[in-house]
Structure 1
Amino acid sequence: MNMWFQNAPAFTNFLLYVVFAALLLFAVLGFVTYAILAERKVMAFMQLRHGPSHVGGKWGLLQTVADVLKLLIKEDTIPKVADRPLFILAPVIAFAPSFLVLAVIPFTDNFQFADIGVALLYYIGVSGLSTIGIIAAGWASNNKYSLIGGMRAAAQMISYEIPLVMSLVGVILLAGSLNLNDIVAAQENMWFIVYQPVAFLVFLIAAVAELNRTPFDLPEAESELVAGYHVEFSGFRWAFFMLSEYVYLFAMAAITTVLFLGGWLPLPFLGFIPGAVWFSIKFMMVVFLLLWIRFTFPRIRADQLMEFGWKVLLPVALANIFVTALVKGLLG
């Protein structure tokens, strides 16, 4: 997309970016709508249950649309003792970074909003800002359960952010760049998942924890007395927190495709298939894997979650950095 805007006047350039940003937003919202439906249908298939089947015909295709309408008309309550400005702003703070990170992801070789030299650092830095929204939600509610839930969610996200970032160092060493286009180009002969299988596993596990999904969904565990940091939120404010989770699912699947699966690059003998199709296929494979994990593993305890992050994932990620640097140094 940068190529399309090179010769455009500044104002026209701005309008084009606004239009494409709006289109991407609607595409992501469409993904979220039917990712939720797909999740429930695939979960039902794997667990021999019935999924949504009452709204939108036999397949329940309008079930998520009906859920969104229900949330839109649901009563919006704000506790009297809440910090009102922060309570209103917290869902937006949690959601905005999940969409902003999409700006640097190269979906194809000519469709990317911002091709910056440190795109990977941008993704890591901006994605971490959602933690502020979670803490703000717990604090603004003026509810001790919400505050504890917010603190626990922040502790989990920060803890798993470290091994997630460490797992990417091997990819950076192999590509020699923080630019996502360069990382894709470096996988022309072989995808990095082949050279970095340990890094991929660490990244995937840490990503599940970052997304607050089962088996690491303690910040919003349904089996607890309260829902965690967003227990006081209702209607569409609550939906914003759920929306951010699924937009991050989109972003995490996309960045995984770029970092480990060669992005839009085709298999050598199938080069006639467009890059956008390849990216979509790999992307949906990652999304399905993330859904599969949720349906398969039981939730773990909070102490097990923290211990696994610090005592298992972090040492493994550091060992992978050492081995990758050693091999790269020996082989030149």
Structure 2
Amino acid sequence: MSSDTFEKPDPPKFTFKDIQLATNDFAAENLIAETSTSKVYEVQRLQSEEDEKVELINVLVHVLKYVLTAETVFRLPEACFPLLSVNNNIISVVGYCGKLDEEVTVIVMQNEANGSLDKHLSSKTLTWIQRLRICLGIARAIHYFHYGFREGMSVIHGNIKSSRILLDDNWEPKLFGFEFSVVCKPSHPLVRIIKYGGSLEYMDPAFEKTGGINQKSDVFSLGVVLFEVLFGQRARIQNDNRWYFADLARRHYEETRLDELIDPDLRQQMDSQSLHIFSETVYRCLKEQREQRLDTSRLVKKLEKALEHQLRHENPVSISIF
């Protein structure tokens, strides 16, 4: 990737007062999502007091409280925000508010027409090709985080889940949710963190043994999301087993019983080779040992192949995965 790719100008800064006015002082009626470390507000109109010509329509205001790490690593700084929009499958950051204190910042993001992926997992109208394209787009975004962000810099997202993926009017996925993202060198073996901040059902099981995360932690979380897309249901915890969903997916794959968890109408659409490549690939993302999981470069290639088979199955004359 050429260096001039990174010359995109900074997204505009907003003052804290701008954000207060837009959200009606962070009113509950504008709040659409909340976790222990972040809140997301939907805003129809946002304008900076410093420039009356700046007007953004239908955006999301993401208030982030960063999670501290136990090592000297960098959280994703505002200086990196312009680099996010270089990738088509990462949310477009259209502005931000400087840090309110040492741990909190506000990102203004472009809202997307179809909302978050978790709301559409069980949709009867979302086809297998659309689902494959969504999965491939997410994998490409994470690969960009890991290896394409900037030379000598790797970003571990740390919070991959279906509610952190927005879908535009063409069902193209846009990854967001950077409150747990950390910057390290691509060869950095482990980033030790004080506590795991993401949702437990997506958590890398190796974290409990190592006390840290790396790029393969994102791969595990992605594997959970991709099985969510295949099964048409959200990951869940049962009987205090935070890996219930991952265990369920692995067991059904190993026993060749995936059809029991796939909607029959969706299953009828699937090319058998496309499903085979997809399920084998995602299964390898959920390996308990990190070194046995695929890296994102191989993951992207495998998903491209699964999509290629499905496209050939539905339209043998013309094939395009881009």
**How high is the TM-score relative to the length of structure 2?**
0.27
Greater strand percent: which structure?
2
Which is richer in helix?
A: 1
TM-score by length of 1: 0.26
Q: Rg bigger for which structure?
A: 1
Tell me: higher relative CO, structure 1 or 2? Use CA pairs within 8 A at least 6 residues apart.
Answer: 1
